[in-house]
Amino acid sequence: MTKSELCVHIEEALRTEEAANIVYMEHLTAIVTRSGLSPEKIKTARQICEYLIDWNNQHSMRLKQLLLKLNGESANDF
């Protein structure tokens, strides 16, 4: 895979899974508190949402760092 192809894939991953999931999870975290579930289930659901947000943020940061690193690379094949 060429460097530009790899960059396109990383950018696409950032636009889809990482950024979008964070937005969805932020809303779901709030929505779940009003879902009518038991407090224990709400707590679990919120923890999962928060966990996913955290991981998506970390992925997003890593992908951005990777993009920066790739742009600084002279090699074209990966």
Partner 1 sequence: MAVPGVQVLIIMNNNNKSSLKLRLTIIPVILLTMGIMTAVLYVIVRTILFITSDYPLIEKVLALALLLAEIFLLTHGIGYFSEILIVAIRRKSLSSVVNREQPPSSWPPIAVVVSSYKEPLEILEKTLTCFYNMTYPNKSIYFLDDTRYDLPGLDAAQMAKYRQDIDAMCRNLGANVFRRRWHDAKAGMINDFLSFLRGQVKEGFEFIPSGNTQYKGQEKYIAVFDADMNAFPNFAEPLVTMMESRPKLAFVQTPQYYTNFEHNRIARASGLLQVVFYEYICEGKDLRNAMFCCGTNVLFRIEALNDVGGFDESSVTEDFATSLKLHLGGWESAYNSKPSVFGMGPEDLGAYFKQQFRWALGTTGLLCNVVRKFLRNRKALPLAVWWEYLLSSSFYLIGIVYLIFQICPLLFLFFNMPSYLAAPKVYAAVFIPYIMLTLSLFFWSLGIRGYFFSDLVQGQLLMSISFPVYIKAAISGLFGVRGKFVVTTKGKTNTMSLRTVWVQIAFLVFNFAAISWGFNRLYYERELVAAIMINMFWCLYNFLFLTSIFYFMRRQE
Does 40 help bind partner 1 (rule: CB under 8 A)? Answer: no
Judged by beta carbon, residue 39 or residue 77, the one nearer partner 1 is: 39
Rounded to the nearest whole angstrom, what is the least distance from the CB of residue 59 to partner 1 in the complex?
A: 15
Axis crossing angle, helix 39-72 with helix 3-13, rounded to the nearest 10: 160
Does 24 help bind partner 1 (rule: CB under 8 A)? Answer: yes
Distances (CA, A) of 49 to 15, 24, 27, 59: 19, 9, 10, 15
Binding segment for partner 1 among 1-9, 21-29, 49-57, 63-71 (CB under 8 A)?
Answer: 21-29
